[in-house]
Structure 1
Amino acid sequence: MTQHTDVVVVGGGQAGLAAGYHLRRQGLDFVILDADPAPGGSWQHMWDSLHLFSPAEHSSLPGRHMPAQPGETYPGGGHVVDYLTDYEKRYDLPVQHGSRVDAVRRDGGRLQVEADTGTWWAKVVISATGTWSRAFLPAVPGRAAFAGRQLHTVNYRSPADFTGQRVIVIGGGNSGAQIAADLALDGQVEVTWATQRPPRFLADHIDGRALFDVATARRRALEEGPSDTGGVASLGDIVAVPSVRAARDAGLLVAKPMFARFTADGAQWADGSHTAVDAVIWCTGFRPALAHLALLHLRSARGHIPTDGTRALGEPRLHLLGYGDWTGPASATLIGVGRPARDAARQIKALCARN
Structure 2
Amino acid sequence: MSAARHAQVLVVGAGQAGLAAGYHLRRAGLDFAVLDANPAPGGAWQHYWDTLRLFSPAGYSSLPGRPMPQQAGQEYPDAAHVVAYLTDYEKRYDLPVHRPVRVEAIARDADGITVTTDDGSWRSRAVLLATGNWDRPHLPSVPGRADFTGRQLHTHDYRTAADFAGQRVVVVGGANSGTQIAADLHATAEVRWVTQRPARYLPDDIDGRALFEIATRRVQAGGPRISDLGDIVAVPPVRAARTAGLTSRPMFDRLTPTGVAWADGTTLDCDTVIWCTGFRPDLPALDLTRTDGRIPTEGTRSTEDPRIHFLGYGDWTGPASATLIGVGRTARTAVEQLKPLL
Relative to structure 1, the CA distance from residue 271 to residue 149 in structure 2 (aligned partners, 3 Å threshold; closer, same or farther) is same
Amino acid in structure 1 at the alignment position of 2:56: S
2:200 matched residue in structure 1: 200
1:238 to 214, 232, 237: 232
Secondary structure at the counterpart of residue 169 of structure 1: strand
Alignment of 1:56-135 (within 5 A): 56-135=58-137
The equivalent residue for 1:32 is 34
Residue identity matched to 1:232 = I
Aligned residues of 1:4 and 1:120 also touching (Cα < 8 A): yes
Shift of 1:230: 4.3
Q: Distance in 2 between matches of 1:83 and 1:210?
A: 22
One-letter amino acid matched to 2:36: D
Work out whether residues 288 and 304 of structure 1, in 8 Å CA contact, stay in contact via their aligned partners in 2.
no
Residue identity matched to 1:195: T
Work out the CA distance in 1 between the residues paired with 2:224 and 2:313.
18
CA contact (8 A) 1:10 1:128 kept: yes
Q: How far 1:292 moved relative to its partner?
A: 3.0
Which secondary structure state, in structure 1, belongs to the residue aligned with residue 84 of structure 2? helix
- Alpha-carbon offset, residue 290 of structure 1: 1.8
1:279 pairs, out of 269, 272, 275, with 272
Percent identical residues: 63
Alignment of 1:339-350 (within 5 A): 339-350=329-340
Equivalent residue letter for 1:130: G
Does the alignment pair 1:322 with 2:312?
yes
Instruction: Please give the residue correspondences for 1:208-227 in structure 2 after superposition, counting only pairs within 5 Å.
Output: 208-221=208-221
User: 5+ unaligned residues in a row in structure 2: which ranges?
Assistant: none
- Greater than 4 Å deviation, 4+ residue runs: none
* Secondary structure, counterpart of 1:339 in structure 2: helix
Match of 1:248 in 2: 242
Q: CA–CA distance in 1 between the matches of 2:322 and 2:15?
A: 11
**How many angstroms does 1:38 deviate by?**
0.3
Matched with 1:165 is: 167
Pairs aligned (count):
340
Q: 1:17 Cα shift?
A: 0.3
Contact 2:214 2:224 in 1 (8 A): no
Matched, 1:299 2:290: yes
Q: Deviations over 1:39-95 (max 9, x none)?
A: 000000000000100000000000000000000000010000000000000000001
1:261-304 Cα deviation digits (max 9, x unpaired): 100010111210110110000000011112332xx132211x22
Residues 229-268 of structure 1: CA deviation (Å, up to 9, x unaligned): 34211211000000110111121x1111011110001011
DSSP-derived class of the 1:290 partner: coil
- SS at the partner of 1:92? coil
TM value normalised by structure 1: 0.94
Distance 1:326 1:153 in 2: 21
Aligned partners of 2:291 and 2:174: how far apart in 1?
27
The question of 1:334 aligning with 2:324 is answered yes
Q: State the superposition RMSD in angstroms.
A: 0.9
* Aligned partner letter, 2:50: D
Indicate the SS of the match to 2:82.
Answer: helix
